[in-house]
A = this chain, B = another copy of it.
Amino acid sequence: MDSPEITRGERGGSQTTRAVMQLREMLFSGEIPPGTRLSELALVERLGMSRTPVRTALTMLAEEGLVQAIGTGGFSARSFSERDVNDAIELRGTLEGLAARFAAERGISTIAGQMLGDLLARLDEVVTAPTLDADVMEQYIELNARFHREIIRLAESRVVERQIERVMALPFASPSAFVMAQSRCEDARNVLVISQDQHRAVVEAIIGREGTRAEALMREHSRVARRNLGQAVRSREALEQVPGGKLIQFDRYGEE
């Protein structure tokens, strides 16, 4: 139990790995539209491999929630409603909030505190950049993702970590999923400033061992991701900027 969590699909350059990655990409890009049935034989042709790794990949993607097993056999590509997106983000925030509370309750080392401080400083540089061009936003996304990963790691809970990974298999649930879409809004800078303030406050709460505060802040932080979500989901142009945007069918709002 000492090596990082490894999934089957992550081992080397195997056919199964290829299948998982390519199918993911096809789902995310809309090449496989939400709701469509996935025919093994068609995928075999498309991916240029035998049925076995394709089947394994489909089984794994089903567990990721990107495809769904059909009762009579086979799989179909899942679609997600605006509510699903909202709930997934709320769910991630809830789990990351739990992680932040654990980190605060369990305490972190001085070194970890310094590492977080460094991260915050780098995020500060990005957030205060003169213009928020694509390069700056990419840097923000990278650092933001790293910040989130570190918080989760500092919770020192395999169970929680694993659970968060599962939520994040849905790309629109990731911490930076809407950053690019938001960067087009006129309050883009404000959103980054607020987010960064929350980052800073979370770290302060963790170091200060204020579990409840850390959790509440981390949860609220995930909600920043949802600013302008409504208009982002309904704008085709903005939706192009959202990872996994093609999985979302906004006319399925509220439908269960």
Contacts and interface: CB of A to CB of B under 8 A. Distances in A.
B163 A71 contact: no
Nearest to A73: B11
B68 A5 contact: yes
A63 to B, nearest CB: 4
A195 interface: no
Interface in A1-19: 1, 3, 5-8, 11
B166 A7 contact: no
A29 interface: no
Contacts of A83: 157
Interface of A: 1, 3, 5-8, 11, 35, 55-56, 59-60, 62-63, 65, 68-73, 78-79, 83-84, 87-88, 90-91, 94-95, 98, 102, 156-160, 162-163, 166-167, 170, 255-256
Nearest to A2: B256
A8 B62 contact: yes
Nearest to A78: B1
Contacts of A256: 1, 156, 158
Given A6-B71, A59-B8, A87-B157, A65 B98 contact: no
A158 B8 contact: no
A123 B135 CA distance: 59
Contact of A91 (B68, B78, B98, B156): B98
Contacts of A72: 11
A213 to B, nearest CB: 16
Nearest to A3: B71
Nearest to A5: B68
Nearest to A157: B87
A7 B255 CA distance: 21
A88 B160 CA distance: 7
